[in-house]
Amino acid sequence: MKNHYRQGDVLLIKVDHAPAKATVTAKKNLVIAEGEVTGHAHRIVDDGAVLMTTAEAATFVKLAKKAQLVHEEHATIDLPAGTYRVVRQREYSPEAIRRVSD
């Protein structure tokens, strides 16, 4: 069974659980990353999905059942139930390290 899934500039890594101090920030049809250039979004399609963040700005998604990660420009990914850490790809430039925008 896979423990990570990549869709464009978003990487989901399966973890045992989110940190105890993670706060629920959204439920249902979650947007986990928005494209600054195109306006497209990486979304989890599942009414039981929960988005959580920590004080350190780490993001986690908890899926009670199988769900889909969708985006207008990428293939849909089927995700098994579980908890995932959301990691955004970064790029280096001489001015700053910044997130890649889809």
Residue 83 tokens, joined: 């908890």
Domain span at 82? 4-99
Cα 84 to Cα 5, 64, 78, distances in angstroms = 9, 12, 13
Query: d(Cα 35, Cα 99) in Å, to the nearest integer?
Result: 11
The predicted-structure confidence for 4-59, as pLDDT tens digits, reads as follows 999 888 899 999 999 999 999 988 778 888 866 667 888 998 888 999 999 888 89
Neighbours of 87 (CB within 10 A): 15
Q: ∠ CA(93), CA(58), CA(28), 5° rounding?
A: 115
Q: List, in sequence order, the alpha helices (H) in the chain.
A: none
102 has a pLDDT exceeding 60: no
pTM for this predicted structure: 0.81
